[in-house]
A and B are shown apart, each in its own frame.
Chain A
């Protein structure tokens, strides 16, 4: 329960940063621009794609519920 709340806090912080960035209240770039920064190099692009594939496999082909 404690960590679930922590995950929700992290999600809320992420949404807050994105919102403030889009409203130009902070100098932090949006998540989209941050992703583009990572994609400037071939290694970055490969890493992002590999991470995307991992998330797909992990969530949709290999998901299990605790206790099931």
Chain B
């Protein structure tokens, strides 16, 4: 629990700092690369990218429960619609005012520091959350 609290505070603080950095600067790239590399290394250490690791595969089979390609059709349909909209937006130049791409739409949320902070924290949580759950599962299984 303390570890989760610490990580939550770290994510909020990191996102707060990183959201104040201007894009297209070296620091902006470094600040995205640091958590990306950390997550990549941690997944590798947990065996997430090692083929034939039954324990890791079983963990995800357990987490996905009865999910199958047949019952995730609504999600796949949404994904397909998003891809179509994105392709049309890109075909029109990416910044067309009638059909903007998803990132151009989201960019408007990134204008304010608060919006960037929130999205940065959300992005970090999406990357770190599943890793933390995998680590906790493996740690509990070892005990």
- Which residues of A does B touch, CB under 8 Å? 1-4, 6-7, 10, 13-14, 17, 26-29, 31-37, 39-42, 45-46, 49, 52-53, 55-66
Task: Report which B residues bind A (CB closer than 8 A).
Answer: 18-19, 23-24, 28-29, 31-32, 35-36, 39-40, 43, 48-51, 57, 60-61, 63-69, 71-75, 78, 81-82, 85, 88-89, 95-100, 102-108, 110-111, 116, 119-120, 123, 126-127, 130
Q: Given A42-B49, A60-B18, A60-B23, answer yes or no on A3-B100 (Cβ-Cβ < 8 Å).
A: yes
Is there an interface contact between B100 and A66, defined as CB atoms closer than 8 Å?
Answer: yes
Is the beta-carbon distance between B74 and A28 smaller than 8 angstroms? yes
Task: Give chain B's interface secondary structure class.
Answer: helix
* Contacting pair B75 A36 (CB below 8 A): no
Are B36 and A10 in touch, CB under 8 angstroms? no
| Contact residues in B for A59 (Cβ distance below 8 Å) | 103, 106-107, 110, 119, 123
Q: Is the interface of A mostly helix, strand, loop or mixed?
A: helix
Q: Find out whether the CB atom of A65 lies under 8 angstroms from the CB atom of B111.
A: yes
Assess A33 versus B43: contact at CB under 8 Å? Given A63-B23, A65-B108. no
With A10-B85, A29-B72, A31-B75 as known contacts, state yes or no: A64 contacts B32, CB within 8 Å: no
Q: Which residues of A contact B57 (CB under 8 A)?
A: 40-41
Q: Kindly provide the distance from the CB of A25 to the nearest chain B CB, expressed in whole angstroms.
A: 12
Identify A36's interface contact among B35, B60, B126, B127, CB under 8 A. B60
- 14 A-B contacts, Cβ less than 8 Å apart? A3-B100, A7-B82, A33-B65, A33-B67, A34-B64, A36-B60, A37-B64, A37-B69, A52-B39, A53-B40, A56-B123, A63-B107, A66-B100, A66-B104
Residue numbers in B under 8 Å from A62 (CB-CB)? 23-24
Contacts of A49 in B (CB 8 A): 39-40, 43, 127
